[in-house]
Amino acid sequence: MTMKDNRFINMLHTARKEGYAVGAFNIFNDLTLRGVITAANEAGRPIIIQTSAGTVKRLGAEALGGMVNAARSLCTQEIALHLDHCKDDTIAKACVDHGWDAIMCDYSTLPLEENIARTQAMIAYAHAKGVAVEGEVGAIFGVEEDVVAEKEHPATYEDTMHYVHATGIDAIAPAIGTAHGMYKGSPKINWELIERLGKEATPLVVHGGTGLSDETFRRMVELGAAKINISTAIKYAYRDAIVAAIPNHPVDSPMELDKKVEAEVHATVLRLIKLFAGIE
């Protein structure tokens, strides 16, 4: 596959051109995968399925990639498979080699020039196999599995564009004031940075989507955000469905419990797909 045929890249550029954002949803097993796919079918919109480095470690790149690729046949919409925040080059390369459309190499805690050099090396490996790369500038606050930033290091327009031009990155995720996990207060979003970057050629990615208001999401899309990541909301939907169902659930019917979990993930994802796409 060549870069011009890459699902991830084409999906994001189409979203920017048509004025919507693609939802990128982290899955961690078959139930969350099915919930996301059925939501995409119902909404009639393309989506990005994301896997964390931790999920890849647990299930293995070949098995996980095979599971997602098999599930694509159940979806009438375009699906891109993406590796979220990855600091381990071995895992990133394994995903490149086993069917991912894109990977995110996260060297954002390193000095900018080192971040650029490491990103350039990963881009060379991935692009040679037709796989897109997303990168990060600044440090996005919060915890998401083994990705930990105890304090935010905000991105600047100048540093972000230097990184973009030096690397030729396919999508950029700068630290704009959002955070991983659940918000404990109102985030201070750098709207000026979003607006400036939203006008550039490289698609803008928003991390830390869980907990933002619908109004915030709409404004981000209006200013040019092309991809919005959702992870924690899916974990909460999964957990809450189990907690609600277990007290009255027959022990001998685990598949009925699975259905309730899948349905809750489906409902959570469906609402967000529609919101990002401007569908009422």
**Residue 251 corresponds to which tokens in the numbers above?**
């022990």
Task: For 232, list phi and psi in degrees, rounded to 5.
Answer: -60, -35
Cβ(177)–Cβ(188) under 8 Å? yes
User: Which element (helix H / strand E) includes 59?
Assistant: helix 53-59
Say which amino acid occupies 43. Answer: A
d(CA 240, CA 230): 16
Buried b / exposed e along 34-54 (16+ C-beta atoms within 10 A): bbbbbbbbbbebbbbbbbbbb
- DSSP states along 131-149: -EEEEEESB-BEEETTEEE
Strands (E), the chain: 22-26, 47-51, 79-86, 102-105, 132-137, 142-144, 147-149, 171-174, 204-206, 225-230
**Taking CA 109 as the corner, what is the angle to CA 103 and CA 110, rounded to the nearest 5 degrees?**
95
- Active-site position among 84, 101, 106, 170: 84
Q: Is 159 a catalytic residue?
A: no
Torsion of CA 189, 119, 25, 190, to 10 degrees: 10
How far apart, in whole angstroms, are the C-alpha atoms of residue 212 and residue 244?
24
- What is the signed CA dihedral for 158, 171, 147, 235, rounded to 10 degrees? 130
Q: Catalytic residues, which ones?
A: 84
